[in-house]
């Protein structure tokens, strides 16, 4: 029995010794980082079975081993408790790694929450997070901080950090600070879910452009800071939707063109800081949309002219601060009219200009006057508004010049010339003296104005140039024999010096030095011209004049015509012309002084296309004695229903010797009634038709000859008499102006055959006789047959 008890005790001790090993196997992670939960469960099952076995055999143990068993059980219970704690901790660690794999980010969050074992639900308690000088390779898990309103990540290299886009899902985020983070791309904010964002500080990164946020919508953002980057292209600013943006900070970049900002829809912009860039002008501000602008900060750029802002005070009524220090601005007249506070500043300007002057001629000393290029305003503080306002200062009384070198004197605005002595106001120009051996190359000066808010230093570089001779413009010419010739016609001269001074016309100074032209003889000749400018320099020019034989010719003869003849042409006058080169030239005839309706002798002008002119005579004789026109026509007879037109009536007459006359007819009374539907006669009666020949050359109508006939219209005897309701018209007159006719029109025989008077009566009697004879013969035969029958 003792051996059996000893064996059972050893077995129990061994089983208790294996429990920690099983627990360790349960908590230990595998090589992939996952805990071996299956092993832990299996070991647990084995431990439970062993415990059950030991309990079942406890009643068989002798009393002297009971204390030993109690000690073993106590140790087992303590080990199980420790194993369960390790198991829970391992499970929690495993779940965080799944949704937030970056250990550094876990440590940051743990520090914020004040505990190491946190859940996704715990992330909802974070409203503000600041991270500085950390290493984060993966931002996964930040999206669970859904109540985060402030996030600052500074001096942390995020250039290779994954899942930064989770930041863009934090819809309650109001402020994001990402400075010194080596960012070259900020597309992580482009999810359009940052609807609560008010401020974005992306300064001190390596952004070269903002293309990654094209089309972004940030409805509540008020402040954007992209200063201290490498931005050289901000054109994308025209394609972002930030309606509430009032502050844009873009200083310390490489921006050269600020116009995209001016062209954008930043209508609520109040502060614009584009200082420390490479901007050369702000011309786009003339039409910018941000009319609420109060602060314009463009100091430390390359701006020399900001005059575009002049007279725009109504467009920018709230503009109170101009900060344009450290530029190249030489005039602050653009500030006139604005009410500015004391923060306005235009100090430390640098001005440099190069000019050209002509070297003095000879040994004489010459004075040169160079205008002062700097202009200022008279700035005074207005107690009623609390702002400074500037007014023009034409006499430069508020502009002080100092440190003058290179000039011998200054000329004041009142015309006084005084030597250079210390600081001076009201200076209009610098005076320098120069000769062949003393040619100053630079002028230096400093200035201060606007109560100390406008200052700078200036350099004027002088390039001394040798004067140039004037220029004569005289081209070669060609003339023809017989033409008048002016040697100075179309010849000009001017003086244009390389110092940029205005062109001086010297045409009236030109001299003809030699002239061999003989305009009466074909040949080639030369003319030599000369002119001298104010510097004593003379220019000469030689032109070639070619004299050609003149082949111009215009011929024409007198012409005789009669009154009434057609209007004469150039051919009638036998007119022809050739130009200077012998080529045909068209000739026109001017008859404005001739009356072709009246006999007489007139002057007619012949003109060629190249301008030649010649007068000839036009003799107009009285009209020729020709036989008088005559008319042949006879009376006509027609019936109601016959067709009749004006052409028919006119064709009944024969006109002889009527060329050049108007021929026609008139109907006496109310005219000849005809149907308007088919041109047929509608009423019997006698109608007088008078044919005439009329002289068309006279102003009043006058019949040369007349011939009257009578048209007799008879009623029809047939049953188809014309309907009395037929609409009727009349034939009243006709003439050759509306009915074509010649002097020999068609006669009656040419018309359709109309029956003569009495012809239809004879035909009727004959017809009745035949019918009566036939009836008599039939009656005779019938009577004879009747007798035979009886």
pLDDT digits (tens, 9 = 90+) for 389-410: 999 999 999 999 999 999 999 9
The pLDDT assigned to 316 comes to 95
Choice between 748 and 108, residue whose per-residue pLDDT is larger: 108
pLDDT of 778 strictly over 70: no
Contact in structure between 196 and 217 (CB atoms under 8 Å): no
How many domains does the structure of the chain reveal? 6
Q: What percent of the chain has pLDDT over 70?
A: 77
Q: How confident is the model at residue 719 (pLDDT cuts 50, 70, 90)?
A: very low
448-487 tens-digit pLDDT: 999 999 999 999 999 999 999 999 999 999 999 988 899 9
Pairing of strands 417-419, 471-473: unpaired
pLDDT the model gives residue 753: 31
More confident residue, 658 or 374: 374
In whole angstroms, give the CA distance from residue 674 to residue 681.
4
User: 116-152: per-residue pLDDT in tens?
Assistant: 999 999 999 999 999 999 999 999 999 999 999 999 9
Residue 784 is predicted with a pLDDT of 54
Q: Which of the residue ranges 58-62, 165-169, 341-345, 518-522 would you say has the lowest mean pLDDT?
A: 58-62
Are 215 and 295 within one domain? yes
How high is the pLDDT of residue 759? 37
Q: What is the pLDDT of residue 705?
A: 85
CA distance 668 to 64: 176
* CB of 638 closer than 8 Å to CB of 672: no
Q: Which pLDDT does position 500 carry in this prediction?
A: 84
Question: What is the C-alpha to C-alpha distance for residues 644 and 640, in angstroms, rounded to an integer?
Answer: 10
For residue 731, tell me if it sits in a domain: no
Q: Could you tell me if residue 543 is inside a domain?
A: yes
- Give the per-residue pLDDT at 47: 38
In a domain, 648, yes or no: yes
The pLDDT value recorded for residue 745 is: 35
Provide the percentage of residues in the chain whose pLDDT is more than 90. 64
Most confident range (mean pLDDT) of 139-153, 534-548, 561-575 is 139-153
Over 90: is that where the pLDDT of 528 sits? yes
In this prediction, residues 355-381 reach a mean pLDDT of: 92
Pair 712, 686: CB distance under 8 Å: yes
Q: CB-based contacts of 661: which residues, under 8 Å, 6+ apart?
A: 629, 693, 694, 695, 696, 704
Torsion of CA 109, 111, 117, 123, to 10 degrees: -40
* Average pLDDT of the residues of the chain: 83
Crossing angle between the packed helical segments 37-56 and 2-27, to the nearest 10 degrees: 160
Burial of 356 by CB count in 10 Å (0-12 exposed, 13-18 middle, 19+ buried)? middle
* Statement: residue 766 has pLDDT above 50: no
CATH number at residue 635: 2.60.40.10
Domain identity same for 196 and 223 = no
Between these two residues, 52 and 646, which has the higher pLDDT value?
A: 646
Q: Give the mean model confidence (pLDDT) for residues 299-312.
A: 94
Decide if pLDDT at 211 tops 80. Answer: yes
Quote the tokens at residue 190. 């482009």
Q: Is pLDDT of 96 > 80?
A: yes
- What CATH number does the domain containing 114 carry? 3.80.10.10
If asked whether residues 184 and 232 sit together in one domain, one would say no
Q: Same domain for 230 and 311?
A: yes
Q: How far apart are CA 140 and CA 149, in angstroms?
A: 18
Q: Which of 153, 173, 201 corresponds to the end of one domain?
A: 201
Domain edge (last residue) among 439, 464, 489: 464
Q: Are residues 308 and 247 in the same domain?
A: yes
What is the pLDDT at residue 1?
A: 40
Residues 324 and 216 in one domain: yes
- pLDDT bucket at 535, cuts 50 / 70 / 90: confident
Element (H or E) spanning 25, and its range?
A: helix 2-27
Same-domain check for residues 671 and 612:
no
Burial-class residue 97 by CB neighbours within 10 Å (0-12, 13-18, 19+): middle
- Within-domain flag for 696: yes
Residue 417 in any domain: the answer is: yes
Cβ burial, residue 69 (10 Å; 0-12/13-18/19+): middle
With respect to residue 344, please indicate whether it lies within any of the assigned structural domains: no
Phi and psi (nearest 5°) for 110? -60, -40
Does residue 32 register a pLDDT over 70? no
Q: Is 515 exposed, middle or buried (0-12, 13-18, 19+ CB in 10 A)?
A: middle
State residue 769's pLDDT score.
53
Interval 724-750 mean pLDDT? 46
Q: Taking Cα atoms as reference points, which of 586, 589, 578 lies closest to residue 616?
A: 589
Asked if pLDDT for residue 750 goes beyond 90, the answer is no
The answer on 296 and 197 residing in a single domain is no
Confidence at residue 440, expressed as pLDDT on a 0 to 100 scale:
94
Residue that is last in its domain, among 548, 582, 610: 548
Q: Comparing 175 with 694, which gets the higher pLDDT?
A: 175
Residues 211, 319, single domain; the answer is yes
φ and ψ of 511, to 5 deg: -120, 145
Q: Give the tens place of pLDDT for each residue, 420-439.
A: 989 999 999 999 999 988 99
Structural domain boundaries, residue 438: 360-464
pLDDT at 586 over 80: yes
Average pLDDT over residues 632-658: 92
Beta strands per DSSP E along 2-159: 128-132, 150-154
**More confident of the two residues 403 and 80:** 403
Residue 130 lies in a domain: yes
Is a pLDDT exceeding 60 seen at residue 732?
A: yes
**Is residue 529 assigned to a domain?**
yes
Average pLDDT for residues 662-689, to the nearest whole number? 92
The Cα 286–Cα 313 span in angstroms is: 11
Q: What region does 438 belong to: left with phi over 0, alpha with psi -120 to 50, or beta?
A: beta
Q: Does the pLDDT value for residue 574 go beyond 50? A: yes
How far apart CA 273 and CA 739 sit, in angstroms, is: 93
215 and 324 both lie in a single domain: yes
643 pLDDT above the threshold of 50: yes
189 and 102 within one domain? yes
Q: Taking residues 98-113, what's their average pLDDT?
A: 96
Rounded Cα gap, residues 226 and 213, in angstroms: 13
Are 285 and 374 contained in the same domain? Answer: no
């Amino acid at each position: 029995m003792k051996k059996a008890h000893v064996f059972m005790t050893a077995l129990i001790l061994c089983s208790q010794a294996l429990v920690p090993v099983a627990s360790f196997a349960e908590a230990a992670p595998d090589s992939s980082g996952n805990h071996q939960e299956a092993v832990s469960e299996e070991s647990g099952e084995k431990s439970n079975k062993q415990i059950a076995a030991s309990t079942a055999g406890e009643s068989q143990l002798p009393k002297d081993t009971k204390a030993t068993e109690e000690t073993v059980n106590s140790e087992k219970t303590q080990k199980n408790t420790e194993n369960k704690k390790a198991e829970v901790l391992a499970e929690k660690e495993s779940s965080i790694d799944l949704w937030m794999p970056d250990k550094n980010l876990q440590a940051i969050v743990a520090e914020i929450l004040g505990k190491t074992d946190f859940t996704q639900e715990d992330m909802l308690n974070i409203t503000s997070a600041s991270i500085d000088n950390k290493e984060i390779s993966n931002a996964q898990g930040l999206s669970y901080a859904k109540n985060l309103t402030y996030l600052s990540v500074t001096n942390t290299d995020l250039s290779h950090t994954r899942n930064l886009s989770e930041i863009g899902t934090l819809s309650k985020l109001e402020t994001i600070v990402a400075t010194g983070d080596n960012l070259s791309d900020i597309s992580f904010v482009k999810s359009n879910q940052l609807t609560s964002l008010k401020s974005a500080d992306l300064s001190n990164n390596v952004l070269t452009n903002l293309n990654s946020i094209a089309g972004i919508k940030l409805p509540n953002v008020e402040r954007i800071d992209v200063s201290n980057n490498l931005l050289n292209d901000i054109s994308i600013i025209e394609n972002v939707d930030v309606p509430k943006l009032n502050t844009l900070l873009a200083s310390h970049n490489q921006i050269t063109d600020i116009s995209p900002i001016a062209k954008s829809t930043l209508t609520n912009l109040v502060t614009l800081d584009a200082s420390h860039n490479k901007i050369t002008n702000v011309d786009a501000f003339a039409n910018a949309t941000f009319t609420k602008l109060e602060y314009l900060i463009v100091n430390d750029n390359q701006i020399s002219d900001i005059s575009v802002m002049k007279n725009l005070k109504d467009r920018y009524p709230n503009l109170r601060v101009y900060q344009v220090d450290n530029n190249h601005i030489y005039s602050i007249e653009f500030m006139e009219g604005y009410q500015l506070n004391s923060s306005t500043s235009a100090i430390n300007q640098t001005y440099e200009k190069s000019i050209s002057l002509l070297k003095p001629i000879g040994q004489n000393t010459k004075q040169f006057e160079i205008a002062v290029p700097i202009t200022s305003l008279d700035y005074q503080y207005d107690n009623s508004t609390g702002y400074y306002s500037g007014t023009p200062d034409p006499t430069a009384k508020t502009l002080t010049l100092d440190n003058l070198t290179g000039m011998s004197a200054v000329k004041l605005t009142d015309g006084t010339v005084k030597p250079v002595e210390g600081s001076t106001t009201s200076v209009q120009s610098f005076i320098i003296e120069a000769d062949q051996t003393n040619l100053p190359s630079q002028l230096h000066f400093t200035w201060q104005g606007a109560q100390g808010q406008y200052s700078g230093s200036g350099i004027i570089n002088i390039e001394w140039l040798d004067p140039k001779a004037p220029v004569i413009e005289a081209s070669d010419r060609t003339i023809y024999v017989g033409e008048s010739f002016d040697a100075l016609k179309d010849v000009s001269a001017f003086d244009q010096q390389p110092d940029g001074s205005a062109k001086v016309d010297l045409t009236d100074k030109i001299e003809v030095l030699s002239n061999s032209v003989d305009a009466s003889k074909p040949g080639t000749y030369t003319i030599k011209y000369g002119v001298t400018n104010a510097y004593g320099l003379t220019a000469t020019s030689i032109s070639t004049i070619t004299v050609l034989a003149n082949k111009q010719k215009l011929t024409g003869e007198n012409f005789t015509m009669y009154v009434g003849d057609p209007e004469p042409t150039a051919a009638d006058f036998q007119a022809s012309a050739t130009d200077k080169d012998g080529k045909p030239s068209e000739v026109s005839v001017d008859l404005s002084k001739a009356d072709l309706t009246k006999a007489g002798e007139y002057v007619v002008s012949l003109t060629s296309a190249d301008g030649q002119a010649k007068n000839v005579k036009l003799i107009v004789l009285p009209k020729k004695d020709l036989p008088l026109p005559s008319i042949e026509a006879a009376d006509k007879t027609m019936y109601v229903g016959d067709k009749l037109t004006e052409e028919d009536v006119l064709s009944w007459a024969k006109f002889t010797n009527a060329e050049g006359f108007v021929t026609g007819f008139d109907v006496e009374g109310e005219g000849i009634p005809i149907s308007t539907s088919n041109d047929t006669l509608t009423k019997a009666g006698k109608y007088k038709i008078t044919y005439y020949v009329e002289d068309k050359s006279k102003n009043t109508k006058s019949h040369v000859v007349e011939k009257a006939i009578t048209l007799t219209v008879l009623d029809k005897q047939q049953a188809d008499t014309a309907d009395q309701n037929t609409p009727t018209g009349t034939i009243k007159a006709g003439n050759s102006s509306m009915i074509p006719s010649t002097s020999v029109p068609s006669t009656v025989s040419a018309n359709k055959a109309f029956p003569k008077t009495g012809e239809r009566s004879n035909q009727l009697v004959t017809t009745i006789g035949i019918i009566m004879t036939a009836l008599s013969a039939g009656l005779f035969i019938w009577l004879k047959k009747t007798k035979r029958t009886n």
